[in-house]
Structure 1
Amino acid sequence: MTRRVKYTTTPATRFTDSSFRFAARHSDNRMAVIPFHAHEFMEIEFVLRGVGIYVSDDAEYPMNAGDVFVVSPGGRHGYRDRDKCEVANVQFDPAEFLPHDNDITAVPSYHALFVLEPLYRALHHFESRLRLGIHDIVQADRLITGLENECLRKAPGYATAVKGLFTQLIVLLCRAYLATTAPAAQVLIKAGTAIRHIDQHCNEPVAIATLARVSGLSVNQLLRVFRQATGQTPHDYQIHQRILKATKMLRETSDAITPIAYELGFADSSHFSRHFKRIMGLTPQAYRRHAATA
């Protein structure tokens, strides 16, 4: 690991269709340096061949064939020696393309890889990153090529084809991460089990002792990993997930505030409204009015 040099942070948005925020490409490797930048979307970067340098907020790390980097929206990153490796990128709107309610989200490595690892990897000096074996590299490259072709050709039904191929890619990555033996990754997978439990019981009281038991971590380990990875306690994370559900209900239903509060597990409408305003900056009533006119 070496200290990174300073780069200019630059936004980058490269979707050709604003209504279908997905792109896949094998990147041009003629540029040795990719400036430090951030995206408003999620990105998965695959190192298919060769070596290079990944630049994060705190340091620079070597990247090798098989390395996979999930970059969350707003995550700042860059590259050096990019011309010495072959890289493929998949960029997408996570709200639209990441699975949220199918069986892959029940796999602990899903939450570990797509929620925790992007935030946690620098603390582990990249020891928690995913590295694919040669067979999985070939499979991933085949799927990315299929995604790239569908995005370029836009033949009838391409949106369905893209979502199908992308789901296969997500499953491949989750299975590979679940099989990793790196201690740092195993800790994140255990914490991912806690996140899955919260998501499955979001509207119910969830005791920290229960989360520690299902994750196989001590209470102190779980709290430390959770806070370092998400910036929140498990309870705060649960409240945020409830509020996200509330925004959808306020936009898409005419249900009154009090029934929404009770359905989401809040003690009363005042308790719900207080948390909603703290997180969203508006009262539930004001949010609903704003959503109706947006």
Structure 2
Amino acid sequence: MFEMELKFFNEDMNFPFFIQYGYHSGDFFRHIHKDFTELVIVMEGTTSHLVGKDTHLVKKGDVFVVGSNTEHEYKDSRNFQLCNIMFKPDFFFSNTFHIKESVGFHALFYIEPYLTKEYVFKSRLKLQEEEYRLVYSLLEKMMAEYKQKQEGWKEMIHSAFIELVVYLSRNYDMPKDTKEQSIIQVANAASFIEKNYKFPITLKEIADTACLSERHFTRIFKETYQFTPMQYVIRLRLIYGAELLKNTCQTVTEIALLCGFPDNNYFARKFKNLYQLSPSEYRYKYLNKDF
């Protein structure tokens, strides 16, 4: 099994991004992405996409995401032209990224990659001609900036890529009456968390938005996001708290309440576990530009 790492394509890990147009005829060998996510936009032709032991046909307009540590290959390609965008989600999808409140965002960039790895699952996003033209214009813009590398090219690519991510998230077609529906509804739960983490919420409330039992939901969520649902909630609250410590003059007690922590001591303890500094130490370090 050939293992691909992002550094094979781009050695600048301060900007973990690579874009290319590809053409395949026949078969393209099985490989695995070790440390990056790949967004694929099919531009022409057809191919059989194999993920694990499962196969489905893809053609022009199809959009899908291949997550890290996922084996895949293309077979029987016929005039198959695509655009590959390889990137690290943690770099581009910051914790203040508001599109993370979108169900389509979580479905496309987190849940689908998990499903294609674990189940037979066909992408739900297919661009119509007008939609494809808009997406293609963004791809051309990113490609030109990546090749020419003029002043500010990273910022231009970052801006165009985020525009693409938002557009695709808005156009994602959630499944209805399919065997994947109950699992992909985890995207609803992730969206619910992003919108409500500052308020008191329970695991049952979150699992209910996915129409799954708490146990089943927790397993899928942790495998997809690397955190349990409640760990994810607490992490979002702490990251929001860090932003408030940096950008406001509110007291630590006030910030704890705004972040959804009724207990100031609990907030301080969890904050130190994540940042290795107390909230007051974090604020002092940041204001003195030592952090």
TM-score by length of 2: 0.72
Name the structure 2 match of 1:114.
Answer: 109
Label 1:225 to 1:69 Cα distance change in 2 as closer, same or farther (>3 A): farther
Name the structure 1 match of 2:48.
Answer: 52
CA contact (8 A) 1:8 1:36 kept: yes
Q: Report % sequence identity.
A: 20
Name the structure 1 match of 2:269.
Answer: 273
Cα offsets for 1:62-102 (capped at 9, x unmatched): 34114323234x33223142754222111223234336546
Counterparts of 1:189-200 in structure 2 under 5 Å? 190-200=185-195
CA distance in 2, matches of 1:68, 1:225: 26
Partner-residue secondary structure (3-state), 1:155: coil
Partner-residue secondary structure (3-state), 2:150: coil
Partner-residue secondary structure (3-state), 1:95: helix
Partner-residue secondary structure (3-state), 1:140: helix
The one-letter amino acid paired with 1:224 is H
State whether structure 2 residue 81 is matched by structure 1 residue 89.
no
Counterparts of 1:215-226 in structure 2 under 5 Å? 215=209, 217-218=210-211, 220=213, 224-226=216-218
CA contact (8 A) 2:65 2:113 kept: yes
Name the structure 2 match of 1:77.
Answer: 71
CA contact (8 A) 2:182 2:211 kept: no
CA contact (8 A) 1:25 1:144 kept: no
User: Which one of 5, 13, 18 corresponds to residue 11 of structure 1?
Assistant: 5
State whether structure 2 residue 200 is matched by structure 1 residue 205.
yes
Partner-residue secondary structure (3-state), 1:51: strand
CA distance in 1, matches of 2:249, 2:70: 39
Name the structure 2 match of 1:132.
Answer: 126
User: Which one of 25, 29, 37 corresponds to residue 34 of structure 1?
Assistant: 29
CA distance in 1, matches of 2:57, 2:135: 17
User: Which one of 219, 235, 244 corresponds to residue 227 of structure 1?
Assistant: 219
Partner-residue secondary structure (3-state), 1:61: strand
Label 1:11 to 1:125 Cα distance change in 2 as closer, same or farther (>3 A): same
Partner-residue secondary structure (3-state), 2:172: helix
Partner-residue secondary structure (3-state), 2:171: helix
CA contact (8 A) 1:111 1:189 kept: no
User: Which one of 237, 241, 252 corresponds to residue 242 of structure 1?
Assistant: 237
CA distance in 2, matches of 1:35, 1:250: 47
CA contact (8 A) 1:111 1:192 kept: yes
CA contact (8 A) 1:45 1:90 kept: yes
> Which shows bigger deviation, 254-263 or 116-125?
254-263
> Which shows bigger deviation, 142-151 or 155-164?
155-164
TM-score by length of 1: 0.72
Structure 1, unpaired ranges of 5+:
1-6
Cα offsets for 1:80-130 (capped at 9, x unmatched): 427542221112232343365465333321122222222233344114x23
Residue 152 (structure 1) shift:
0.6
Partner-residue secondary structure (3-state), 1:183: coil
CA contact (8 A) 1:53 1:79 kept: yes
In terms of fraction of residues, the more strand-rich structure is 2
CA distance in 1, matches of 2:253, 2:195: 22
CA contact (8 A) 2:101 2:194 kept: no
> Which shows bigger deviation, 136-145 or 263-272?
263-272
The one-letter amino acid paired with 2:28 is V
CA distance in 2, matches of 1:10, 1:158: 25
Cα offsets for 1:256-278 (capped at 9, x unmatched): 9877766544434357536864x
The one-letter amino acid paired with 1:44 is L
Label 1:27 to 1:42 Cα distance change in 2 as closer, same or farther (>3 A): same
User: Which one of 61, 64, 71 corresponds to residue 55 of structure 2?
Assistant: 61
Residue 243 (structure 1) shift:
4.6
Label 1:180 to 1:150 Cα distance change in 2 as closer, same or farther (>3 A): farther
CA contact (8 A) 1:43 1:91 kept: yes
Root mean square deviation, CA, Å: 4.0
